[in-house]
Amino acid sequence: MSQGRFRASSAARRRRRRTALLTLGGAGLAGFFLIPFSWLLLTSFMHEQEAMSVPPHWIPGRPTLANYMTFIHPSGTRSIVGSRAAENTLPGIRNSLIAATGTAALNVALGTLAGYSFARLRFRRRTTLMFLYLGSRMVPGIALIVPLYLVIQRLGLLDR
């Protein structure tokens, strides 16, 4: 009787230890990815001297929105990146948001229809189409940059 109880408690301890190690590993991995973004966000609210100080200040002493105003307002950005780029900042952000939202909506709509078709319908070349679709999704976006640039260049759509 005591032998069975010993095994159960030993198994429970191993399970708790495994859960604790997985939790610690997950927290470490989350910290590895989130700490640089939190530093980026906190630094954006600091004055330049405070952001560049050694040793670093982890929390802004005098938070400021001046960095955001410099970026958004063309006259502030003009001294950093030049007048034409400064005047195109907000329209560029707006255009990027429109393109990203449209692309996401189109992907959701078409992906839903395609997923339903592949799951419910039986048709010729179903497996071939599924592999083509999944294969196209597995191509990293960075691998498409050079071919897309060449197409845009040949169409004469590059900014000069």
The pLDDT tens digits for 47-95 are 888 888 899 888 888 898 888 877 777 665 555 555 566 667 778 888 9
How many alpha carbons fall within 13 Å on the CB side of residue 41? Answer: 5
59, 42 contact by CB (below 8 A): yes
Distance CA 18, CA 132 (A): 39
State residue 76's pLDDT score. Answer: 58
Answer yes or no: pTM beyond 0.75.
Answer: no
Task: Name the token pair of 28.
Answer: 């470490």
- 6 CA to centre of own chain: 48
The whole-chain average pLDDT of the chain stands at 86
State residue 77's pLDDT score. Answer: 55
Long-range contacts of 125-128 (CB under 8 A, 24+ apart): none
> Which class for 86: exposed (0-12), middle (13-18), buried (19 or more C-beta within 10 A)?
buried
The pLDDT tens digits for 112-121 are 998 999 999 9
Q: Which residue has the higher pLDDT, 3 or 75?
A: 75
